[in-house]
Amino acid sequence: MSLAFVRRLFTTLLRVAAIAGMVSFGTAAMAADPTDGGYILGADDTVQVIVYGQPEAGITTRIKSDGSIVMPLIGNVKASGLTNIGLAKLITDRLTQGGFLKDPVVNVEIGAYVSKSANVAGKVTSPGIVALDRQYRVLDVLLKSGWIRENGASYVYLRRPGSPEVRLEAESLVRGETDRNPLVRDGDTLFVPDADQYYIYGQINRAGAFPVLPGMSVRQAIAIGGGVTPTGQSNKVGLIRDGAKEVDADLLQTIRKGDVIVVKERLF
């Protein structure tokens, strides 16, 4: 699978709409569960708490640095560490158990996702900060950033504070290999470097630098360069690797970053 195919595939996927939802809870709700799968609230996130039929009991507010919000009737509520669903459950329980309201129906909407984000840098369409408004994997974040540019590498580095840098292949991301498409955490950085390149000169229709694709052979590299000219000799190709002396190339051998391919002139 070529990187060009990967890019075309994800240009199509970028048009798929995102999923949105709203959940309300009444007094039958369970105790607040911080692990119900949604975005985990944190300091500086904005929430709107709606108590249906009781507008004076609701509020729109920013979560304080200590992780709490101040609600009418029930006062301080610890919001940090909960999802919007979990917070709605907690507020419902507090209103009910405190005798403030009978059978309240509570909904919590997130107005601004601020507390958790990742940085995307390098050769992507839209580098910058990506809000982690739910659980995202590396592939999801790259899609939100417009995917890898034409001059980008076929891999991405995941950099996480306190952990070794991890290289992830774009092809593995596309294939859905979950073990090679980890969840992105708050503070992570994804970096896409310049594409690994090889160089081709001599009797070739399009001399110059081209990206190295996974498993690319010398024969394929020549084809990407437009093939040999009428005066070129396809079975007479030189290879310079790591600055060493030029050697005869095997057309089936794999290209590496920095390789120089020289297509020789036909002898008449």
Q: Are the beta carbons of 206 and 226 closer than 8 angstroms?
A: yes
Return the CATH architecture of domain 24-112. 2-Layer Sandwich (3.30)
Q: What is the pLDDT of residue 27?
A: 37
Question: What is the assigned CATH class of domain 197-265?
Answer: alpha beta
Residue 143 φ then ψ, to 5°: -65, -45
| C-alpha count within 13 angstroms, C-beta hemisphere, residue 141 | 32
Beta bridge partners of 239: 247, 261
DSSP 38: S
d(CA 4, CA 171): 11
d(CA 138, CA 84): 24
pTM above 0.85, yes or no: no
Question: What is the assigned CATH class of domain 116-192?
Answer: alpha beta
How are beta strands 46-51 and 232-240 bridged, if at all?
Answer: unpaired
Q: Do domains 116-192 and 197-265 have the same CATH topology?
A: yes
Listed by start position, the domains of the chain span: 24-112, 116-192, 197-265
> Along the 268 residues of the chain, how does pLDDT read in single tens digits?
444 544 454 444 433 322 233 334 443 333 334 434 578 899 999 999 999 999 999 999 999 999 999 999 999 999 999 999 999 999 999 999 999 999 999 999 999 888 999 999 999 999 999 999 888 999 999 999 999 998 899 899 999 999 999 999 999 999 888 889 999 999 999 999 998 899 999 999 999 999 888 899 999 999 999 999 999 988 899 999 988 899 999 999 999 999 999 999 987 6
d(CA 161, CA 158): 10
Q: What is the pLDDT of residue 4?
A: 52
